[in-house]
Structure 1
Amino acid sequence: AARHPGPPAHHTCHPAAEPGSNVTQPSAKQDHQPDQGDADKPGEKHTEEFRARIVGDKRVQAGESISTGAVLRRMPQLIRRALALAWAADARSTLLLLVCQVASGISGALALYFTTGTLDALLVPGPVTDHLADAAPYLGVLAAAAALRAVLGIAVTALAGRVAPRINREADLALIAAGCAAELTAYDEPAFNERWESADRGAATTPDLLTNAQDVIASTISLLAAASVLATLHPWLVPFLVLGSVPTGIAAVRTARIHYLASVTTGEERIALRIYRWYLMDKGRADQVRSDQVTPFMMGKYREVEARIAAATDRATGDAARISLVAALGTGAGSALIWGTLLFLVSTGRIDLAAAGAATFGLRTAASGVQGMVGNGARLYRMGLYLDDYFAFLDEAGGYRIRRGSAVPEAPTTIEVNDLSYVYPGEQQEPALRGVSLTLRAGEVVAVIGQNGSGKSTLLKLLGGLYLPQPGAGTLTWDGVPIEDLDAEGLWSRVARVPQEFARWPVLASENLHLGHHDGDPAAAVEAAAALTGFDETVARLRSGWRTLLAQGWLGGAELSGGGWQRAAVARAFYRTERHPGLLVLDEPTSDLDPRAEHKILHALRGFAPGRITLLVTHNLANARLADRIVVMDGGRIVQAGTWHDLADRPDGLFRELLDLQRDRALPGQRAAAE
């Protein structure tokens, strides 16, 4: 499961794309369950399963490409990449790690060389005690080499333990930075969420990548040391270096392919599991989980998905076990041939008994080296596939990296919207906006009114540069400059927003307002903004005042009421627009507030109007009285515009309809006592 919290956005159920399509989109597996009769009848209903499928995903093809040759070809590149990551995280420790590994390999080679001398001194006629003096120098070198290798092994483990967490930390930071550098529209695209998941798995493999790279390097050094010793003993022994290890190595590659493909093909189910778990455990729905008694129902769905994953995993495990069994038989046959050859060389006098003993150690070391190279190389290759996803995401932020103009805007005097339309991704999506044209001017307060789904929030995101106009679907300019030609960070510095779902940051009360944007001591500006919303009164009741951690359940942090958080969100926008005037956007900013707090905020909002373009979205039409102009939206279009009195005095129109509904507070009469 991915480590970043929360479910991926917009993993919804849609009909699957046509076979062979390379369009990336979400889909749902459809179980054909007709009420009666043939499932293929026109208009027949199907039951969809919740899952996210990315059409055109190439990871399955990548997994099928895993082979021994591919592993060997790519191994040097992956080792270089692992060492580059380690070097960037901690250059000094990485250098020491390499030195220790090379020194360990050299000491192993010396131990093999001196094993031959030891056996030559001991395996001669006569009492062994008479030859110990001759063998003593060799034994001393062997003991010293063994001790040195033990010390170097401890050093390698310690250095790897130091470097690996740093690699993981840097990988996580780079991944977060890349994700935050993506356009907001990326979160509407299922492909982005899948690429994020894949990149996250790649980031998680970075510490293991270094470990496997180390093991490959160590195995290679051991193999070279053993090969050099065996070559000096007898040339016939060199071809047998790999004979007993090739079957095991090939099996390691094939089992790695099996497990990788199992992981990839169950990816959509694992995403579903994480989302089900999130919905059951998230605090925001914990009350409804209990009151609606939804646990048995949702747990049943969780078990169904988990059963599919378990079945795929069991198949992969069985296939891998069968391959490993065949490999074990091949390795056994190869070992028998090696021992037969060694006995033949001894019996024919081609090598002496001491050399045979040394060859035994050399062959065992070589076999271990080959197995380590191929086995760890296969794991390294599989991790490399995940790492490819990680680096691809870093390069392009999942294909949605922010690439806009470089013009840094001042506070806009005019924002022009001309024939603007917008459609969210998905086959069944209706346009959220349809041919909207609008002019906004500095100093003006504009109220945006409309029913749910009328396009208000989409329009606000476009005006604030969070979304960009789609090609051929109209234009949006700040002071005559197309919004896509403006520097994104510069534009956002001129935007202060209170969205409906405002953030409740787990930081100090004061930090919740300034969020790191200040020129020194922000206390005075923070307190001034808080006073405009009544948030200062909320803070006064906190145990540590402005230094209170607003994160209940974490380090003893405090929690605010819904109204308290909304006051904080509005104060945050006021603080921001006071620092950099521009566009002030408030989407239902008083929905959780009592009348006194609402009155305070609306009066403050009017005072902020000069030098800014202010947009107010509200369902309480009485609050729209403070606006200079009202824009009424319906079905993605602007259907009315004018002052409050102009629209209220009209005998018809959507605004008058909504106003009459709000004024109509007639309720059914109370029942009589007899009733």
Structure 2
Amino acid sequence: MAQPATPAQPVAPAQPVAPAHLGRPGSDQQHEHNENLRFDLPGDNRAVAATSLSTGSMVRRLPHLVRRALGLAWKADRRSTAAVLVCQAISGILGAVVLAATAASLAGVMREGPVTEHLRQTAPALTVLTLSAGARALLGVVVAALSGRIAPRIARGAELALVEAGTQAELAAYNTPDFNDAWEAADRGAQTAPDLLADALDVIAAAVSFLAAAGIVATLDPLLFPALLLGSAPAGIAAVRTARIHYLAALATTDERRALRIYRWWAVDKLHADQVRASTVAPLLLSKYRAADQKIADATDTATRTAARVSALAALATGAGTALVWGTLLTIVATGRITVAAGLAATFALRTAASGLQGVVGTGARLYRVGLYLDDWANFLDQAGGARIRRGTRTPAAPTTIEVRDLTYTYPGTEAKTALHGVDLTLRQGEVIAIVGHNGSGKSTLTRLLTGLLLPEPGHGEVRWDGVPIEDLDADALWRRVAYTPQEFARWPLPAAENIHLAAPGTEPAGLQARVEEAAGAAAFDQVVAGLRSGWRTLLAQEWLGGHQLSGGEWQRAAVARSVYRSTQAPGLLVLDEPTSDLDPAAEHRILHAVRAMAKGRITVLVTHNLANTRLADRILVMSSGRVVQEGSYDALAADDDGLFRELLDFQLDRSVPTQRAAEDH
């Protein structure tokens, strides 16, 4: 999923569905066969919904969308939402009063007799007209102000609900393209949530205005109402058609729009800025950005031309419809069905009704389109991307044994990779177990299964904590017994102390600072903090104003200190995956001795490529191609000349120069 943005860091995009390669310079034929960034959301019905978008389907769905918008607003701010609805209702009543007062004023002025007498008789109607129009204007200001108060709350509520749903998904979901695409679509829906309220209120206002004016029109003469509907139909139908054209164009360029965000992120993100320059990769990324942008521009231009043709035809039809409306009105006046004064009043009412009807259809089409995006958001909340954490309720103690039986694990995706094959092992409390092997041998996958971050696939083995299947344990209770430092550890934008304890306000244990400092001492992080300008209160985030950035090795000390702290708070399983890869020898020595010293009362797993570090382990597991191929002590494995451990050890100890350089080459 996308990482939260900071002022200096653009949002990292979700992973593409299929393997994506940026491509390499070469022949045109090579470029034709390169894989490109592609996205596909199984079950995505937006294209189907868009192609079926019609005036009828839109009208049928509008009540549901309006209820959804008001439901979001009600949840965000009940009092303001209630006030908006009251104001809208009063405004609609006043609209009808304005039209009725207009009709009464015109009828009074156009009667035979002295003008002064007419004005005196119509004064009450004119007063009502003036006050009602002024009150409507004031209510419009109030509605706008209240909407401005509600909309940001809806946006924040939608985003918060999305984040909460994302954190409730199984980690395995992040390895599936379906989840990442569902998140991407849901995130777009969360961004459009405030628009739903604005469009819903516009639809309500337009509908109220139309109903008020239509009631006046029908009162003046029933023939005017069907003429009004026929006259306004072309513009309304055109609004729906053009909305469908533009929406389908947006769907057709979904890949390109997401690719733009990805190329932009890779080009300007701080993490890759040095490589963008040193590798002179900017021209390649920019060329791909321009190519995707051109496809979007072409699709947009085509949609604009098509929509313009539809609008032109609608304009011609609207002209004919307008002639029908006014022809009907003139005929009614000429035949004496209504007076000239009533005809003038009908003119105002017809204009208001036509504007209201077109507003309902035009804004309704926009509301329909926004509603499609919000469906993705709602579906993600309902299912957490189809991967909501649903496990048992048992609370584990610090495990005395963790058993792995016949465990096979395959990562999901378009190219499934089996990371583990029939692994069997038992880990015991008080042990330090080192895991070594080639890259991709399954070491990190195994640790994620031991910690419950990943669950065994049904029928493909099991992991048990003290005899209980890991899926039967309460997930949060389990993870409170886990201290885990992965290879790609988090660099939280928090003060130094919070980076270690990660305790939410109000949950800090007694003696917090002393415990933090003790853990920092074990990981040699105390030396780093001693050099910070504000000590433990220093913000560790260079991208923020006043923040401090640590080096890679300093951050690694912080990550290990974090795990040491967690493990002392609630001993259980301590997993350190390459915890010293960026450290100097002094810091590495300090950490390894601390790990050995705190082994009692917990199971400790150390994943490392530095085979010298495995000397501190009670037992070493050697993995290859997803299998445990050797197991034993350092001395025993080093003495096995035919074993993988000895092979890796020989490579690590061999620092000879393949061919001796001649003196003149020095």
TM-score bracket for this pair, using the shorter chain length:
over 0.9
2:21/2:36 contact within 8 Å kept: no
Q: CA deviation at 1:204?
A: 1.1
Q: 2:662 aligns with which of 657, 662, 671?
A: 671
* Deviation at residue 34 of structure 1 after TM alignment: 9.1
In the alignment, structure 1 residue 611 sits paired with structure 2 residue 616 = no
Residues 4-36 of structure 1: CA deviation (Å, up to 9, x unaligned): 55444542645xxxxxxxxxxx9999xxx9969
Residue 21 of structure 1 corresponds to none
Superposed displacement of residue 298, structure 1: 1.0
Q: Give the corresponding residue for 1:81.
A: 68
Tell me if the contact between 2:449 and 2:455 (Cα under 8 Å) persists in the aligned partners. yes
* 8 Å contact from structure 1 (residues 2, 201) kept in 2: no
Is 2:228–2:325's contact at 8 Å kept on the other side of the alignment? no
Residue of 591, 613, 616 corresponding to 1:623: 613
**Alignment partner of 1:399: what SS?**
coil
In structure 2, what is the Cα distance between the partners aligned to 1:674 and 1:318? 69
> What is aligned with 2:83?
96
Maintained 8 Å contact 1:253/1:375: yes
SS of residue in 1 equivalent to 2:575: strand
With normalisation by structure 2, the TM-score equals: 0.95
Alpha-carbon distance in structure 1 between the residues aligned to 2:95 and 2:557: 69
1:164 corresponds to: 151
Match in the other structure for 1:494? 481
CA displacement 1:307-353 (0-9 Å, x = unmatched): 11221222222222111111111111111111111111111111111
State the alpha-carbon separation in 2 of the partners of residues 102 and 135 from structure 1.
27
1:496–1:583: 8 Å Cα contact kept in structure 2?
yes
TM-score calculated relative to the size of structure 1? 0.94
CA distance in 1, matches of 2:299, 2:12: 23
Match of 1:570 in 2: 560
Q: Measure the CA separation in 2 of the matches of 1:238 and 1:58.
A: 38
Q: Following the alignment from structure 1 to structure 2, what is the Cα–Cα distance between the partners of residues 138 and 2?
A: 60
Report matched runs for 1:141-180 at 5 Å.
141-180=128-167
> Aligned residue for 2:419?
432
Q: Is residue 11 of structure 1 aligned with residue 16 of structure 2?
A: yes
| Paired AA for residue 532 in structure 1 | A
1:106 and 2:93 are equivalent in the alignment: yes
Deviation at 1:563?
1.2
> Residues 456 and 633 of structure 1 are in contact (CA less than 8 Å); yes or no, is this contact kept in structure 2?
yes
Q: Deviations over 1:142-175 (max 9, x none)?
A: 1101110111000000000001110111100000
Choose which of 110, 119, 125 in structure 2 pairs with 1:132.
119
Give the whole-Å Cα distance in 2 for the aligned partners of 1:576 and 1:231.
Answer: 74
- Give the counterpart of 2:200 among 192, 199, 213: 213
1:487 deviates by: 1.0
User: After alignment, is 221-230 or 450-459 more displaced?
Assistant: 221-230
Which range moves more in the overlay, 363-372 or 50-59? 50-59
Q: Which residue of 1 aligns with 2:588?
A: 598
Residue 576 of structure 2 corresponds to 586
Aligned residue identity for 1:672:
A
User: Using the alignment, how far apart are the partners of 2:129 and 2:665 within structure 1?
Assistant: 106
How far is 1:534 from its partner? 1.5
Aligned to 1:512: 499
Taking the TM superposition and a 5 Å limit, the aligned residue runs for 1:109-124 are 109-124=96-111
- Determine which of 232, 248, 265 is the counterpart of 2:235: 248
Distance in 1, matches of 2:411 and 2:523, equals 35
Deviations 1:351-407 (A, max 9, x none): 111100110010011101111111111111111111111110000011111111111
Alpha-carbon distance between aligned partners in 2 of 1:2 and 1:630, rounded to the nearest angstrom: 37
- CA deviations on 1:443-486 (whole Å, 9 max, x unpaired) are 00000001111111111111111111112211111111111111
Q: Secondary structure at the match of 2:503?
A: coil
Note the C-alpha offset of 1:238. 1.8
Residues 150 and 9 of structure 1: CA distance in aligned 2, closer, same or farther (over 3 Å): closer
CA distance, structure 2, for counterparts of residue 447 and residue 524 of structure 1:
30
Take 1:119 and 1:427, find their aligned partners in 2: how far apart are those partners? 73
| Structure 1 residues 271-310: Cα deviation after superposition (integer angstroms, max 9, x where no partner) | 2111111111111111010011111111001111111122
C-alpha separation between the residues in 2 aligned to 1:221 and 1:227?
Answer: 10
Counterpart code for 1:590: T
Q: Matches of 1:629 and 1:265 in 2, distance apart? A: 56
Q: Does structure 1 retain, via aligned residues, the 8 Å contact 2:432–2:605?
A: yes
Structure 2 CA distance, aligned partners of 1:208 and 1:567? 46
Contact 2:437 2:443 in 1 (8 A): yes
What is the deviation of 1:132?
A: 2.0
Query: Structure 2 counterpart of 1:172, which letter?
Result: E
- Asked if structure 1 preserves the Cα contact closer than 8 Å seen for 2:260 and 2:292, the reply is yes
Pairing 1:402–2:389 present? yes
Native 8 Å contact 1:13 1:27 kept in 2: no
Structure 1: distance between partners of 2:534 and 2:472? 45
SS in 1 for 2:463: strand
Whether the 8 Å contact between 1:262 and 1:313 is mirrored in structure 2 is yes
Name 2:529's counterpart in structure 1.
539
Matches within 5 A, 1:278-427: 278-427=265-414
What letter matches 2:471 in structure 1?
E
Q: Give structure 2 stretches of 5+ with no counterpart.
A: 6-10
Identity %: 61
Check if 1:72 corresponds to 2:59.
Answer: yes
Q: Kindly indicate whether the alpha-carbon contact (under 8 Å) linking 1:509 and 1:550 is maintained by their aligned counterparts in 2.
A: yes
Q: Which residue does the alignment assign to 1:39?
A: none
Aligned to 2:8: none
Shift of 1:260: 1.8
- Per the alignment, residue 517 of structure 2 pairs with 527
Q: Distance in 2 between matches of 1:326 and 1:129?
A: 49
Specify whether residues 373 and 511 from structure 1 end up closer, same or farther in structure 2 by C-alpha distance, changes over 3 A only.
same
- Give distance in 1, aligned partners of 2:272 and 2:432: 36
Measured in 1, the distance between the counterparts of 2:325 and 2:83 equals 38
Would the alpha carbon gap of residues 418 and 532 (structure 1) be closer, same or farther in structure 2, given more than 3 Å must change?
same
Instruction: Provide the secondary structure at the position in 1 that maps to 2:417.
Output: coil
- AA matched with 2:65: L
Return the alpha-carbon distance in structure 2 between the equivalents of residues 91 and 129 of structure 1: 51
Report deviation, 1:2.
8.1
Give the alignment of 1:163-202 within 5 angstroms: 163-202=150-189
Secondary structure, counterpart of 2:230 in structure 1: coil
Q: CA deviation at 1:53?
A: 2.7
Q: 1:497 to 1:408 in 2, by over 3 A?
A: same
1:447 to 420, 426, 434: 434
Cα shift at 1:124: 2.8
Task: Indicate conservation of the 8 Å contact 2:420/2:446, yes or no.
Answer: yes
User: 2:665, 2:376 → 1: CA distance?
Assistant: 74
Q: 1:462 and 1:252 mapped to 2: Cα distance? A: 54
Cα 1:669–1:370 change in 2 (3 A) is same
Say if 2:434 and 2:620, in contact at 8 Å, map to a contact too.
Answer: yes
Distance 1:673 1:398 in 2: 65
Segment of structure 1 superposing worse, 614-623 or 133-142: 133-142
Measure the CA separation in 2 of the matches of 1:661 and 1:531.
34
Relative to 1, partners in 2 of residues 1:460 and 1:384: Cα closer, same or farther, differing over 3 Å? same
* CA distance in 2 between partners of 1:576 and 1:95 (Å): 47
Output one character per residue of 1:177-228: Cα deviation in whole Å (capped at 9) or x when no partner: 0011111111111111111111111111111111111111111111111122
Structure 2 CA distance, aligned partners of 1:47 and 1:506? 38
The answer to whether residue 212 in structure 2 is matched with residue 225 in structure 1 is: yes
Task: Deviation per CA, 1:70-115: give whole Å up to 9, x if none.
Answer: 1111111111111111011000000000001111111110000011
Q: 1:216 to 1:567 in 2, by over 3 A?
A: same
RMSD: 2.1
